[in-house]
Structure 1
Amino acid sequence: MRCLSYEERYGRLVLVAEAHFLGILRSVLSRETSALVTAFVNKDLAHVKTYEMPEHLKDVFQL
């Protein structure tokens, strides 16, 4: 059984985090993984309920 690449597992990869943590994520991502990220979203959604997430991310993608 072969391992699936990120491209085969995900249609798109969007990283959402508050500004400071998003900066840390960007600095540690491999070049290959970073190339797969379609959007970096500077939002702190830690307080947001799961069912409310689509409303906060509607600008990033159509659900």
Structure 2
Amino acid sequence: MSDITWVIVANGERARVFQTQGLALDLQEMEDLVNTAGRGTGLTDKEAEVLDRGEQKEKLEAKFSKRVADYLEQGRLHQKYHRLIIAAEAKFLGMVRADLSEETQRLIFEGVSDDFSELDVVEIQKRLRKER
């Protein structure tokens, strides 16, 4: 398998997964994960009853972080990439990192505390190049 990098741009609502050869940043979008739990409550009845809006949002983001981390873990286990670049809103970046195994954390080449999830691919590439 060739040298593949996955680039993840994310926030608590959305995580876009791109692939590139090596570190070229010629991004090809592979997946667009959306936090659909926010459309319903995504919480148990008890959680929805006892948590205020801010706590509910945080709980939903934590569940989405685990979903993103699971996706990255599966990619690593199936040897779909060799390194990761993660650009995410600072709090969400920390959540995702905390949910990753040590093996997957070692594949993080770069972590950027910025939310690029709503930008087009050309702008994402420009911003990531500026970070280097």
Report runs of 4+ in structure 1 exceeding 3 Å deviation.
none
Q: Which amino acid aligns with 2:107?
A: L
Q: Deviations over 1:2-21 (max 9, x none)?
A: xxx83x53243111101010
Name the amino acid aligned to 1:58: R
Matched, 1:49 2:112: no
Distance in 1 (alpha carbons) for counterparts of 2:87 and 2:103 = 18
Q: Shift in Å at residue 53 of structure 1?
A: 1.1
Bigger RCO (CA 8 Å, 6+ sep): 1
Task: Pick the structure with more strand per residue.
Answer: 2
- Structure 2 stretches lacking a partner, 5+ long: 1-74
Q: Which runs of 5+ in 1 are unaligned?
A: none
Hey, what does 2:106 align to over in structure 1?
A: 35
* TM-score of the superposed pair, with normalisation by structure 1: 0.72
2:106 aligned counterpart, secondary structure: helix
Distance 1:38 1:19, change over 3 A: same
Identity %: 34
Report the 3-state secondary structure (helix = DSSP H, G, I; strand = E; otherwise coil) of the residue aligned with 2:110.
strand
C-alpha distance 9-46 of structure 1, shift in aligned 2 (>3 A): closer
In structure 2, what is the Cα distance between the partners aligned to 1:39 and 1:51?
19
Counterpart of 2:127 in structure 1: which amino acid?
H
TM-score of the superposed pair, with normalisation by structure 2? 0.38
Structure showing greater radius of gyration is 2
